[in-house]
Amino acid sequence: MMPFPAGQHILLGITGGVAAYKSADLVRRLSSQGAEIQVVMTEAAKAFISPLTLQALSGRPVRDTLLDTEAESGMGHIDLGRWADTLLVAPASADFIAKLAGGLASDLLTTVCLATAAPVVIAPAMNQAMWLKPATQRNIQTLAADGVHLIGPDSGEQACGDIGPGRMLETWDIISELESLNVKKSLAGIKVTVTAGPTWEALDPVRGLSNHSSGKMGYAVAEAALKAGAEVNLISGPTTLSPPRDVVLHHVRSADEMLNAVKRVATDCDIFIGVAAVADYRPSQIEMSKIKKDAKHVTLELIRNPDILSWVTSQETKPFTVGFAAETDNPLEHARQKLEKKSLDIIAVNHVSADHSPFGSDENQLVVITPDEDIDLGRHPKTRLASTLIDTISKKFHESYKT
């Protein structure tokens, strides 16, 4: 996953709270995606996590003192505020939130928050009673009115044993929220078409041929493309899912209907992503009335469905085209054959094994194959995998215009 343009400067403020242990993971994951991290800690935060750990993970000495002549002669609090593209405070304690709402500049972190022109994002973490107190809620409303972005908190079991709202969001959720706030979006202005779900090939008015695709992977890909700033058309076979807000949804049933919808929108798109599990065959004829069960044997004649991806790539001005493949045997080899046969730019291969099927599950495992390299995206929840996939597609799409 690469939610930030490489080299994005994130100033991570850490305040005193048990959730400070999650900050180490946050630094590691953001750094591994190419962001540059400068950690600023409060005195209370140092009781929960060592500055040395954060220095090792961020590659920069942690800043913790406002009136440190040595540090101020280098990058002082004003320069820190200017350096930051985003100022993220995670965890943000009740005390810090109160200070920020009151406009205090009593330590380095609150001072940088006041001095910076960068967006300030806070991820609160505190006991549920403290979170629910009118004073905290008033402070939160003040911060929201001041333009501070609030992410979380989560609700559930707390370190103190209480149950309720106030838990800091998990690392990936914070990154995902940051991603949607991020102004420099990798697919801003780009038109993306995604197909998702199964197709339904009718046999008669009540029966048909289909498969176990739930649409989860395709809907997650559409949502990740939206978050990356794209305009998204989602062409979906029958599913029970709610579409992501802001996509243009096209409901279809059969492969033929899917192709017709693709013909309407894909001629005007920059990136086409075929996640749908399209039936390769359909009954040669659809009975107008329900097939009766009098006969001992019924023979179905099936005919080939059109190949939607091949239609897309056969167009004179074809979009950057991404296919999916669900394979049981020699997955990489078979997927490479599909990449070539359908003239794709990228194919994403699902791992289908005896103990795991991507169909219907919330998790998936993908390897992305391009003509030059194989990129293992690992096994993760589909939402997270979709973000990583969109980042990979976006990178390759932009590179394809440079060559």
Q: Minimum Å distance from CB 235 to ligand PMT?
A: 10
The reply to whether 324 sits near ligand PMT by the rule CB under 6 A is yes
For residues 84 and 101, what is the distance between their CA atoms, to the nearest angstrom? 20
Q: What is the DSSP code string of 90-121?
A: EEE-HHHHHHHHHT---SHHHHHHHH--S-EE
Task: Among 325, 377, 390, 393, indicate the residue that binds ligand PMT (CB under 6 A).
Answer: 325
The 204-243 site mask, x for binding ligand PMT (CB under 6 A), equals ---------xxxxxx-------------------------
The 92-131 site mask, x for binding ligand PMT (CB under 6 A), equals ----------------------------------------
Q: Which is nearer to ligand PMT, 50 or 353 (CB)?
A: 353
Task: Among 16, 243, 323, 331, indicate the residue that binds ligand PMT (CB under 6 A).
Answer: 323
Beta 374-381 vs 363-369: how paired, if at all? antiparallel
Q: Which is nearer to ligand PMT, 184 or 212 (CB)?
A: 212
The DSSP secondary-structure symbol of 266 reads G
Q: Minimum Å distance from CB 306 to ligand PMT?
A: 6
Task: Among 232, 255, 339, 377, indicate the residue that binds ligand PMT (CB under 6 A).
Answer: 255
158-187: contacts with ligand PMT (CB under 6 A):
none
In b/e form, how buried is each residue of 127-137, taking b as 16+ CB within 10 angstroms? bbebbeeeebe
- 223: nearest Cα among 380, 390, 345: 390
The reply to whether 336 sits near ligand PMT by the rule CB under 6 A is no
The region of 107-115, 149-157, 269-277, 371-379 touching ligand PMT under the rule CB under 6 A is: 269-277
The reply to whether 338 sits near ligand PMT by the rule CB under 6 A is yes
Q: Find the largest Cα–Cα distance for the chain.
A: 93
Q: Which is nearer to ligand PMT, 60 or 338 (CB)?
A: 338
The region of 71-79, 164-172, 240-248, 271-279 touching ligand PMT under the rule CB under 6 A is: 271-279
Q: What is the DSSP code string of 229-256?
A: T-EEEEEE-S-SPPPPTT-EEEE--SHH
- CA angle centred on 298, ends 297 and 303, rounded to 5°: 145
Q: Let me know if 269 is a catalytic residue.
A: no
Chain position carrying tokens 């076979």: 237
For residues 189 and 60, what is the distance between their CA atoms, to the nearest angstrom? 35
Q: Give phi and psi for 86, each to the nearest 5.
A: -140, 140
The number of residues in the chain equals: 403
The reply to whether 39 sits near ligand PMT by the rule CB under 6 A is no
Q: Three-state SS for 62?
A: coil
The region of 41-49, 53-61, 82-90, 321-329 touching ligand PMT under the rule CB under 6 A is: 321-329
For residues 221 and 205, what is the distance between their CA atoms, to the nearest angstrom? 32
Q: Three-state SS for 338?
A: helix
Q: Which is nearer to ligand PMT, 15 or 305 (CB)?
A: 305
Q: Minimum Å distance from CB 281 to ligand PMT?
A: 9
Token code pair at residue 369: 């194959």
Q: Give phi and psi for 300, each to the nearest 5.
A: -100, 130
Tell me which of 6, 47, 135, 160 is the catalytic residue: 160
Task: Among 277, 346, 367, 393, indicate the residue that binds ligand PMT (CB under 6 A).
Answer: 277
The reply to whether 250 sits near ligand PMT by the rule CB under 6 A is no
The region of 139-147, 160-168, 305-313, 368-376 touching ligand PMT under the rule CB under 6 A is: 305-313
Task: Among 192, 326, 339, 368, indicate the residue that binds ligand PMT (CB under 6 A).
Answer: 326
- CA angle centred on 281, ends 267 and 322, rounded to 5°: 35
User: Which residues are within 8 A (CB) of 24 and not within 5 positions of it... i.e. 6 or more apart?
Assistant: 49, 53, 54, 57
List residues near ligand PMT by CB under 6 A: 195, 197, 213-218, 255, 274-278, 280, 305, 307-309, 323-326, 338, 350, 358-360
Active site residues: 160
